[in-house]
Amino acid sequence: MFFISSISSISSVSSILSIFIVFSFNSSFASHFSIPSNSPLISLPQPMVCEPYHEMIGNINYYRQILSGDRCWLSVVPYDYSSPELIYRSYLMTEDGVFMVFNSYGQGSISTDTGARIFQIFPRNQLPHAYVTGEKLVIKTAYSNLSLIMDSNTGLWAMSFGAEIKEDPMISKKNKGGVEWTHMDTFYVDFGFSIGHDPRANANALSTVFDSKNHSCSVKNKELFKYDADQDFEFKFLNDQDLVEFLKIRCQNLDLSPLL
């Protein structure tokens, strides 16, 4: 199976398909926020708690839920994700800074017809949340200065603040998930792309750490995660300061100032 590991707990590992497909419309939903289209992005305060929420916005479904371990996440899923073709792209973001691009390539098995590109963004200083303005869904990530705006009709990224994002609308096994960060005004890790499994599950695979100046440093996943005999894994650095101390030694070429 293709799994997402909850960063907060080794024991809370969930099937990615259940993350994206199993939702209930009779959950207790948070209040809906709607603001004028000319309002600044910073005008909406972040929620104090992560309340379960669902809303159909144009042709996309927006969900917010709580993983076991009380970690908040949100996802954006196209309206037709359950169509017979099963060809779609979805996104999942967590309060731990994880940004997952999930692709379903058709009706084949999970091991051959799904894929994920995973990034993790730092510092982590707010709960991820979103609001609607006009026909756009504004997503505030776990880093307060990084916002993404999605066109609710097409499901494509329309704009970003704090980063430059490049998106290939074609859903293909050959484009590594179809989403690339070409620059970010903060610090992030690119864990790469994998077919049929989470790329972080390979302890010996190399991931790339970037700073805001696009300096990079390659590290093995086992330097960033703890792994157990069942191939479950947990991010070692639950707070940003612990990550800073590791990178000061391991990646001395990086500018760590955004994390300080």
Task: Determine the pLDDT at residue 53.
Answer: 84
Q: Does the pLDDT value for residue 28 go beyond 70?
A: no
pLDDT at 21 over 50: no
> Tens digits of per-residue pLDDT, 34-92?
333 333 333 345 667 788 888 888 889 888 888 766 788 899 988 665 567 888 999 99
Supply the mean pLDDT for the chain. 81
pLDDT tens-digit series, residues 197-237? 999 999 999 999 999 999 999 999 999 999 998 878 999 99
DSSP string, 178-225: SEEEEEESSEEEEEEEEESS-GGG-TT-EEEEE-TT--EEEEEHHHHE
Residue of higher predicted confidence among 190 and 26: 190
Residue-level pLDDT at 191: 98
Percent of the chain with pLDDT over 90: 56
How confident is residue 122, by pLDDT bands cut at 50, 70 and 90? Answer: very high
What pLDDT does residue 252 have? 97
Does residue 187 contact residue 211 with C-beta atoms inside 8 Å?
yes
CA angle 110, 111, 113 (to 5 degrees): 60
Dump pLDDT digits (tens) for 170-183: 999 999 999 999 89
Question: If you count them, how many residues does the chain have?
Answer: 260
Give residue 70's pLDDT: 74
